[in-house]
Amino acid sequence: MLAVSTQPDVISFAGGLPAPELFPVDDLRAAFDAVLSTDGPGALQYGPTEGYAPLRAYLTNRLAHRGIMTKPEDILITSGSQQGLDLLSKVLLHARPSVLVEAPSYVGALQAFASHESRYLAVPMDDQGMCVESATQMLNHVMSTSEDRPALLYTIATFQNPSGVTISRERRLALLEFCAAQQIPLVEDDPYGELRYEGEEVPPLRALPGGEETIYLGTFSKILAPGLRLGWIVAPQSVIARLVISKQAADLHTDSLVQRAVLHYCMHTDIEEHLSHLRAVYRSRRDAMLSALADYFPSEVKWTRPDGGFFIWVTFPEGTDTRALFAEALAQRVAFVPGTAFFMDHLGSNCLRLNFSHVEPARIVEGMQRLAKVVTAHSSKT
């Protein structure tokens, strides 16, 4: 089905891809050229597992602008955030029976944790994000059966994948308090945090009072180019030390040339201007999709209204099966991801995820018209 959804006449809201026309190709070409011209042997040789020191120093600075105070030694460069999740699962999940995740959550994180056979405690969300009260109840239940406490709590706190929801400041503080009280490491995955299209900035958990010991995952994938596979983890020194050992066994180190080229790009380009451009383009795509939902979709359908990121989460009346809808949509050359993909327990069958970052506004309107027809026909059948 995924193969069908990438055919050129299909308008796909299924993937989670950035818009390739926004990649700063020429600036990156200049960066690779400059690095290979001036530092070729270094850029092509083995490098330290921790990452290229000047890049770690740069990230320290850049994170300070987002309120995250850290040191270069507390940053590990990774081959994308996905590797960060994999390394964390190796280091933290070992012999622990469960992880707390948002329901729904990012499939790739669930996969990384799954390889260690951990059970998911999938915490419900509302429009403020993960429900801390539910997490408390679930934890009490688990602990009453004398199980070990969960290995970690995983959250995409800002513009979540797949829901688009951002955890409110109050809820963040409650979450930090919960994790501190229960001694559960909190892992914040923040791929979309810099892609805000409206509303007021909410600081990363790592930047809030009580957040100093949390683990923070960042990436260049959504703000620069995912094909380069470049991300980082900020964590307490004791965790970083174990992650470095794990990373050494996993791939020795992240590409030396790519680390240097991306740093060169960041130092020689106005990255804030680049981000402004991304935000403007993605904002118009989000707006096109939200308008189309309001204009064309039946009133019993509900959806989130994300302030940033890549995704909108759509909820149909109970009893709707979005996997059946998916087949009908593909026949009309439009695609999305059925909601069950983001749960481990077959929930979400009446939900679906829409991606708006990868499709131009006119195609978004066309695709949403197609999808609305399918939805209307489907609901009249049931």
- 217's enclosing H/E stretch is strand 215-219
Check if the beta carbon of residue 292 is closer than 8 Å to that of residue 368.
yes
CB of 109 to its own copies, least distance (A): 9
CA distance 10 to 7: 6
CA distance 263 to 118: 36
In this complex, which beta carbon is closest to its own copies, that of residue 78 or of residue 340?
Answer: 78
In this complex, which beta carbon is closest to its own copies, that of residue 80 or of residue 150?
Answer: 80
In this complex, which beta carbon is closest to its own copies, that of residue 143 or of residue 252?
Answer: 252
In this complex, which beta carbon is closest to its own copies, that of residue 61 or of residue 111?
Answer: 111
CB of 185 to its own copies, least distance (A): 19
In this complex, which beta carbon is closest to its own copies, that of residue 43 or of residue 278?
Answer: 43
Check if the beta carbon of residue 151 is closer than 8 Å to that of residue 118.
yes
CB of 37 to its own copies, least distance (A): 7
For residue 157, how many C-alpha atoms fall within 13 Å in the half-sphere facing its CB? Answer: 33
CB of 294 to its own copies, least distance (A): 30
CB of 320 to its own copies, least distance (A): 29
In this complex, which beta carbon is closest to its own copies, that of residue 57 or of residue 114?
Answer: 114
CB of 245 to its own copies, least distance (A): 8
CB of 228 to its own copies, least distance (A): 6
Kindly give, in sequence order, each residue whose CB lies less than 8 Å from that of residue 164, ignoring residues fewer than 6 positions away: 304, 305, 306, 309, 311, 312, 313
CB of 193 to its own copies, least distance (A): 19
In this complex, which beta carbon is closest to its own copies, that of residue 173 or of residue 245?
Answer: 245
Check if the beta carbon of residue 88 is closer than 8 Å to that of residue 65.
no
Whose structure tokens read 């513009």? 159
CB of 36 to its own copies, least distance (A): 4
Kindly give, in sequence order, each residue whose CB lies less than 8 Å from that of residue 247, ignoring residues fewer than 6 positions away: 49, 76, 78, 83, 87, 253
Work out the number of other CB atoms within 10 angstroms of the CB of residue 298. 13
Interface residues toward its own copies, by CB under 8 A = 15, 17-18, 20-21, 23, 25-26, 28-29, 32-33, 36-37, 40-47, 79-80, 82-83, 85-86, 90, 108, 111-112, 114-115, 221, 225-229, 246, 248-258
In this complex, which beta carbon is closest to its own copies, that of residue 250 or of residue 344?
Answer: 250
End-to-end CA distance of the chain, in Å?
23
Q: What is the spatial order of strands in the sheet that 186-189 belongs to?
A: 75-78, 231-234, 215-219, 186-189, 153-155, 98-103, 119-126, 129-130
Check if the beta carbon of residue 77 is closer than 8 Å to that of residue 52.
yes
In this complex, which beta carbon is closest to its own copies, that of residue 24 or of residue 236?
Answer: 24
Residue type at 60 in one-letter notation: T
Kindly give, in sequence order, each residue whose CB lies less than 8 Å from that of residue 55, ignoring residues fewer than 6 positions away: 77, 259, 260, 262, 263
Cα 120 off chain centre by = 18
